[in-house]
Structure 1
Amino acid sequence: MSEEGIWRVLESIGSPLLWALTIAVLLALLALDFAVTRRPHDVPMREAVAWTVFYLALPVIFGVVVWWVYGGTPAVEFFTGYVVEKSLSVDNLFVFMLLLTAFAVPSALAQRVLLYGIVGALVLRGIFIAAGAAVIASGAWAFLLFGALLLITAVKVIRDAFRGDAHHVDIDRMRGVRLLRRLMPVTADYHGSRLTTRIDGRRALTPMALVVAAVFMTDVVFAVDSVPAVYGVTEDPYLVFVTNAFALLGLRALYFVLRNVLARLRHLNYGLGLILAFIGVKLVLHWAHGVWDQVPEVPTPLSLGVILITLATVTLTSVAANRRERMATTEA
């Protein structure tokens, strides 16, 4: 195919060829991550920062290319959706951190657990995105449904933040973990990155299998929240998918950069709750606009501004609260 023919095929965003190229690049990046984590090792800060910069540069380059080829509207939708998904993925990291601690995962194995979680999240996001596209195609009522779901989630997130149990994880209450323990014996110790091993001639699960199962179950919860959220920014399934993919790909490295910072972002969940509520209202207004023309819609650039200001605000308030706490401790 000539260069002109390729550009003609790629004229519309979300074309079959663009989907195929995107999935191929995604699989190559996942293969690269599996190669990096093939030998378990503690991740030094320099390595984690390098990979984080790499995975932050990719969506920026992609967004610029989208702007150049398809115009400003899809590019702004992509960047806005990416900021939303990246914010929610940081919340993912909180839960991953708790699970790694609860299962006493050796630090050398942490990045392999995170990679399993990312792959599971990508698969689930793909399923939910396809389902969301089918629901939206069935009628405008889907936006009302998604909006209501996000508003309910926002209330729960903010309520949990006020109660102080926003990131509480009870492993013993996870049905999947309990089921695995009933089906097969579980070894007391880790056996490298293996999920199963043989003990006295009998196949047994390792703790690695249990933590991976727990991570997959939390992935389901986050997929239910994140997919409607990004559909509130763009209705294009392709853009919804790539924002999720770019937000998730860099989590493995970002975890090791932020693991000492995550606990200090004490107000993050308040911000995430407000963002989910804002997008929920945006979706409800979008539905209402289709019924009554007089109802205003929220433009995507305004959404991006509100999201960035909210994240900046909760970061600053978290820093200020931590400083006040340190000063109070020093004076005491």
Structure 2
Amino acid sequence: MLDLPSIASPRLWAISIAVLLVLLAVDFVITRRPHAVAMREAVGWSLFYLALPGAFGLVLWQVYGQRPAMEFLTGYIVEKSLSVDNLFVFMLLLAAFAVPPELAQRVLLYGIAGALVLRAIFIAAGAVVLQSGTWAFLLFGAILLLTAVKVFREALRREEYQVDIDRMRSVRLMRRLMPVSNSYDGGKLTVRLDGRRTLTPLALVVTAVFMTDLVFAVDSVPAVYGVTEDPYLVFATNAFALLGLRALYFVLHNVLDKLRHLNFGLALILAFIGVKLVLHWAHKVWAGVPDIPIAASLAVIGLTLATVTATSLYADRRERVGA
């Protein structure tokens, strides 16, 4: 049985969860009045949510030392990169459900709140699995390698990816459980029609986003455990990456399609972390096997993201010039 290292005391956990709830409450207050999000508003909140993890990382460095801060930064970059890919799917979902622009941020916020609950459950489960023995590193590594193959295949056929609402299992299940109205009614999830409690389309799209988050959690949590074994840091990276997702969606909404090579980079990152986990397992069993240091992981991840961003922008520019 492994004893997972952690910098967090019960007091630090309590403070962190309280701050998280306050930030979510602020977001719910902001989205209470449905409105289309202007670019200036989206950029302002995006910068705020980028500054938060930066400040948190500096505090970690000052209080707990270099290693926890480096692990947090690396894990945050991994999670933020995966979340950008999540945004592409969210964009397709919101378009498929014809979500009015003024309701888009409320849908995303519901999805983020649900994702935080799911990630907490998966992080706790991951910690239990890791505590059971070193074989868990091998299991997580295999999951990430398989995910990398799946992401690479999806990258090859990305232009063909579409959302068919009628074929989604979550939507079909909701329609069986309750009737669904034909139109949105502000931010309401249910309304009363003809004396019956009825779902609005908003409830369906929120459910679809929530189920999508469930799939993403299976990939992202093992990825961060490949960077750090500290459950608190895994939770912190997920929380900071998800909190800024609502605002980031509106900043990147018009440029997501231009990041055409992002999935290739994500596949490479997931494969790298998968190999890192397998080597970490082997290092636990045979001390002679090298263990990839966190600084090298950060360098590989950063270089990969910079490369695919540059090649995506170059390919997009060439396409526009050729047109």
**TM-score interval, smaller chain:** over 0.9
Contact 1:157 1:166 in 2 (8 A): no
What residue number does 2:139 align with?
145
Q: Which residue is 2:272 aligned to?
A: 278
Match of 1:206 in 2: 200
- 1:241 corresponds to which residue? 235
The change in CA–CA distance for 1:166 and 1:17 in structure 2 (over 3 A counts) is farther
Q: Structure 1 stretch 290-299 or stretch 247-256: which is displaced more?
A: 290-299
Structure 2 residue 284 is the aligned partner of structure 1 residue 325: no
Partner SS, residue 37 of structure 2: coil
- Distance in 2 (CA, whole Å) between partners of 1:201 and 1:85 is 45
Structure 1: how far apart are the matches of 2:34 and 2:73? 34
Equivalent position of 2:19 in the other structure? 25
Q: Tell me which residue corresponds to 2:108.
A: 114
Distance in 2 (CA, whole Å) between partners of 1:37 and 1:64 is 30
Q: Which residue of 2 aligns with 1:299?
A: 293
CA distance, structure 1, for counterparts of residue 141 and residue 166 of structure 2 = 32
Could you tell me how far 1:167 is from its partner in structure 2? 4.9
| CA apart distance, 1:166 | 7.7
Q: Which residue in the other structure is 1:6 paired with?
A: none
Aligned residue number for residue 34 of structure 2: 40
1:217 corresponds, among 211, 221, 226, to 211
Map 1:23-172 to 2 at 5 A: 23-164=17-158, 167-172=161-166
Q: Is the 8 A contact 1:147 1:280 kept in 2?
A: yes
CA displacement at 1:160 relative to structure 2? 1.4
Query: Contact 1:166–1:269 at 8 Å: present in 2 too?
Result: no
* DSSP 3-state at the match of 2:192: strand
Secondary structure of the 1:187 match is coil
Aligned to 2:306: 312
Relative distance call for 1:166 and 1:308 in structure 2 (3 A) is farther
Where 1:20 maps in the other structure, the secondary structure is helix
Q: CA deviation at 1:169?
A: 2.8
User: Per the alignment, in what secondary structure is the counterpart of residue 197 of structure 1?
Assistant: strand
Q: TM-score, normalised by structure 2?
A: 0.97
Q: Is the 8 Å Cα contact of residues 267 and 314 (structure 1) preserved in structure 2?
A: yes
Aligned mates of 2:53, 2:315 — CA distance in 1: 32
Is contact 1:94–1:167 with CA below 8 Å preserved after alignment? Answer: no
Q: Return 5+ residue gaps in structure 2 as ranges.
A: 1-5
C-alpha deviations, 1:239-282, integer Å up to 9, x for none? 00000000000011111111001111000000000000000000
Q: State the alpha-carbon separation in 1 of the partners of residues 289 and 163 from structure 2.
A: 41
Q: Deviations over 1:104-154 (max 9, x none)?
A: 000000000000010011000000000000000000000000000000000
Q: Distance in 1 between matches of 2:162 and 2:78?
A: 23
Task: Write the letter of the residue equivalent to 1:318.
Answer: S
The whole-number CA distance in structure 1 between the counterparts of 2:24 and 2:135 is: 36
Query: C-alpha separation between the residues in 2 aligned to 1:91 and 1:163?
Result: 15
Distance in 1 of aligned mates of 2:299 and 2:247: 27
TM-score by length of 1: 0.94
Find 2:186's aligned residue among 187, 192, 201. 192
Tell me the SS of whatever aligns to 1:186. coil
Q: Structure 1: which 5+ residue stretches go unaligned?
A: 1-11
What fraction of aligned residue pairs are identical, expressed as a percent?
75
Provide the secondary structure at the position in 2 that maps to 1:86: helix
> In 2, distance between residues paired with 1:167 and 1:128?
27
Deviations 1:146-196 (A, max 9, x none): 000000000010011112358543322221110111121111110001000
Equivalents in 1 of 2:175, 2:117: separation in Å? 25
**What is the RMSD computed on CA atoms of the aligned residues?**
1.0
Q: Give the SS at the match of 1:266.
A: coil
Give the Cα separation in 1 of the matches to 2:183 and 2:50. Answer: 36
Structure 1 residue 198 displacement after superposition: 1.0
Structure 2 residue aligned with 1:231: 225
